[in-house]
Structure 1
Amino acid sequence: MTAGDPNEYRLIRDLMKGYDKRIRPSINFTDPLNVTFGLALAQIIDVIWTDYNLRWDPAKYGGIKVLRLPHDEIWKPDIFLHNNADVSAYTSSLSSNLIVTQDGNVTWFSMFIFRSSCSINVRYFPFDAQNCTMQFASWSYDGFQVALMNHVIPRV
């Protein structure tokens, strides 16, 4: 016997029936899956995409519009920092639950720790401004399969 919401239980059971997290979730295999990617210093990375296999009608599941699923249950983009200065950061990172909405939108607040090295120019110190470029990409998908798009995170 379970103490959880029977509608949520049924919804998860129905969504995961036949779901294969090893397969990129696109409607047409020739189209890229758009992954929106936002990054701010000292902040969790926001990664957003649509998994067309995870859509449902809330009316059939007691009005449930949002689910939280364990990070290892569904497909996730394998994003890495190309100019990474510390490879061990990938193995030490934690993952939170993924937030899935009724229309298949998935939000992943990834808790990766990235370390990158940049050259600095102190010619006009202390009035200089530095620019450090971080190059992110998918490890196993090309741009025709997973298209990374910038998500601007508003300043607080």
Structure 2
Amino acid sequence: METRLLCSVALVTFLCVVVHCATSTTVLQRLQQHIVSKQTLPIRNTTVSMASLFDIAIDFIPVAIIGLNEETQVFAFSGIIVAAWLDLSSAWNPADFNNTHAVTIESNLLWSPQVSAINSVSRITTTLKEDALIVNNGQITMFYVDAYETSCEIDTGYFPFDEQTCDVLLFPSGRYRFYTPKSDVDTPEYFFRSNEWRLVSVRLQNRSYMQPVFELSFPIQTVVIQFKLKRYSAFYVMSILSPIGILSLMNACVFLLPVESGEKMSFLVSILVSYAMFLNFVYSTMPRSDSLSRLTIYLMLVVSQSCLSIMSTIYLLNMYHASGQPGGGCVAFGMRTSLRSKVKPDNRTVDSFVKDSVSKSKTSIRRIDRFMFLVFSCSALLSLMVFVIY
């Protein structure tokens, strides 16, 4: 008896659930048919004025920063553009549809505005749309989920400690206008961060234009998504700045090598080749433009210092080798002076006089080497400090 009673209760409960689901499905289908049947293009006025345009609110949700190519000046990102507008023909009374206040409908069944990023380098208009959310007061919200590639003017003056601002211009493609009721955009928890760029902020701006076409001028109300990015500079500091700073100090150390070693020129040429390698790496990652970055100027300074050290070393080597020749350098000058006066200096022979002059010449060259080491060391440190501070 109890078993029959339990089975009867279960059967009744199952039938109630089935009837309720069928009723709910029928109500949703009827509501969808009600909305779709009344969908009309919300632009009916053909006069050219701001008052005749249909207002569409724009919002944005950033999802990921894909990258910013300095050489091609292309900014890639992914996000969700949210468009919302009011269509009174799609409104309904919740009491007529089982107290349903909101419903989602496939976007291809509804009219939707075209969202175009006119500074895009690939596809201007996005066509990837999620299901639309419709509220009973007639407010329709459409979600455009896509990855975008837009042009971005790069300022590499402070590379690699630079900040870049990239604008995405959303232009309306019909008889409606875009506007945004907010300025600051919050970053969601599921935002994917980039390894090279830190997203400082995302802002929305309203901009108005008058587009002249032949004898007419069309008003254009647009929304601009403004990204502010800051580069992570640790990689460039460790891979470029630190090695170049060390090389510039080693470049000054050539004046600590004794002239007798014969390794001064090979040492300097090796450092100059290293500079050329770093210059090639930096120039391959930076855009070709008239503006020079501080890093480029710093590299040119250290290369110039390397060239000056090579010329100074050549001059000192010539002085050293000339001091050991009978007619060269300081020795020749001393011998000519002694012969003209026909007086032997300190009653010494000519050989002892030559040896003494050569010794003095080597001592003076060593002093010049020490002085040049201090000059080039201070120059290397000063160039690095100016680059980092300013």
Q: TM-score, normalised by structure 2?
A: 0.34
Residue matched to 1:98 = 132
Q: Does 1:133 align with 2:167?
A: yes
Report the aligned-residue RMSD: 2.5
Q: Does 1:10 align with 2:30?
A: yes
CA shift at 1:89, angstroms?
7.2
Residue matched to 1:124 = 158
Distance in 2 between residues matched to 1:16 and 1:119, nearest whole Å: 43
Pick aligned residue for 2:103 from 57, 64, 67: 67
Residue matched to 1:24 = 42
Residue matched to 2:301 = none
Distance in 2 between residues matched to 1:68 and 1:25, nearest whole Å: 23
Q: TM-score, normalised by structure 1?
A: 0.79
Q: Tell me how many residue pairs correspond in the alignment.
A: 146
The structure whose residues are more often helix, as a share, is 2
Distance in 2 between residues matched to 1:89 and 1:105, nearest whole Å: 23
The amino acid across from 2:59 in the alignment is G
CA contact (8 A) 2:115 2:125 kept: no
The amino acid across from 1:59 in the alignment is A
> Comparing 52-61 with 109-118, which one deviates more in the overlay?
109-118
Q: Does 1:46 align with 2:64?
A: no
CA shift at 1:40, angstroms?
4.3
Deviations 1:34-57 (A, max 9, x none): 111123443211111112211011
> Comparing 93-102 with 39-48, which one deviates more in the overlay?
39-48
CA shift at 1:94, angstroms?
2.6
Deviations 1:37-94 (A, max 9, x none): 123443211111112211011011101011111111111111101111002874xx53
Residue matched to 2:312 = none
CA contact (8 A) 1:37 1:45 kept: yes
CA shift at 1:31, angstroms?
3.6
Give identity over the alignment, percent.
19
The amino acid across from 1:148 in the alignment is F
Query: Against the structure 1 CA distance between its residues 99 and 76, is the aligned structure 2 distance closer, same or farther, given a 3 Å change threshold?
Result: same
